[in-house]
Amino acid sequence: MEPVISLSHVSIWQQLTLILEDVNLQVNPGEFIYLIGKVGSGKTSLLKTLYADLPLKDGEGWIAGHQLHGIKEKEVPLLRRKIGMVFQDFQLLDDRSIYDNLAFVLGATGWKDRQLIRNRIEEVLERVDLHYKDDKYPHQVSGGEQQRVVIARALLNDPEIILADEPTGNLDPATSEELMKLLISISHNKRAILMATHDYGMIRKFPSRTYRCESGKLSPVEPSQNYFDFEQLMRMG
């Protein structure tokens, strides 16, 4: 099985500042992986590098069949169509309905046929159980429902990978749990998910392979920590 993410001896930079060094990571189709660490430890910078928002300067990195080192500007949109992004702050357009938010993304990524656009939007809204609210505006639905719209948006172009940056950060525990169940079910459809989070309660409830950003390194968290050492994880994050 070919990994959908493969990083070998990679350095993560923010302009002239080295954030993480000697990063090694492989993610296979359908894997769900947590990324933990303190604020400023490099989680978001790592996701931005995978999304080609930050250049990969050192090491070898591949994602969804694209080489990150030296990727050409014209190739970045092709890469991003294979990646779904889920943000903590939603980044929805407040002056457009849920349907029009999704139609805007499809139009921006090359979809032109109105019926195909409608069919695809109906499919993804059905997947996140929001098909009955397509005419609502973001401010007319709850925070959890807005995050479901964000997940629907991430699924529009049938991505191989979903990169999620603190997706439960603004949600209450019950809503967070519902969202986690949705993301895990999506990963069962052979989509890899890499999720940066501080929500260690969800890690304990839904254990999976976990990596920690700390002191400029990316290190695996031992399964014993994943399942039982919740208090230690809290201190580290």
Concatenating the DSSP letter of every residue in 129-158 gives T-GGGTTS-GGGS-HHHHHHHHHHHHHTT-
Residues of the chain with pLDDT under 50: 226-228, 230-231, 234, 237
User: What pLDDT was estimated at residue 1?
Assistant: 77
User: What pLDDT was estimated at residue 229?
Assistant: 53
User: What pLDDT was estimated at residue 225?
Assistant: 54
Query: Which CATH superfamily groups domain 1-81+200-237?
Result: P-loop containing nucleotide triphosphate hydrolases (3.40.50.300)
pTM of the predicted model, to two decimals?
A: 0.89
User: What pLDDT was estimated at residue 88?
Assistant: 75
Beta strands in the chain (DSSP E): 5-14, 17-27, 32-37, 58-63, 66-67, 83-87, 161-165, 192-196, 209-214, 217-220
Pairing of the two strands 161-165 and 83-87: parallel
Give the Cα separation of 106 and 125 in Å (integer): 14
User: What pLDDT was estimated at residue 227?
Assistant: 44
Contact 204, 197 (CB under 8 A): no
Pseudo-torsion of CA 158, 161, 165, 166, nearest 10°?
Answer: 80
Give the Cα separation of 199 and 36 in Å (integer): 9
Domain boundaries, the chain: 1-81+200-237
User: What pLDDT was estimated at residue 228?
Assistant: 43
User: What pLDDT was estimated at residue 185?
Assistant: 93
User: What pLDDT was estimated at residue 235?
Assistant: 54
State the DSSP code for 206: S
Q: What does the radius of gyration of the chain's CA atoms come to, in whole angstroms?
A: 18
User: What pLDDT was estimated at residue 232?
Assistant: 56
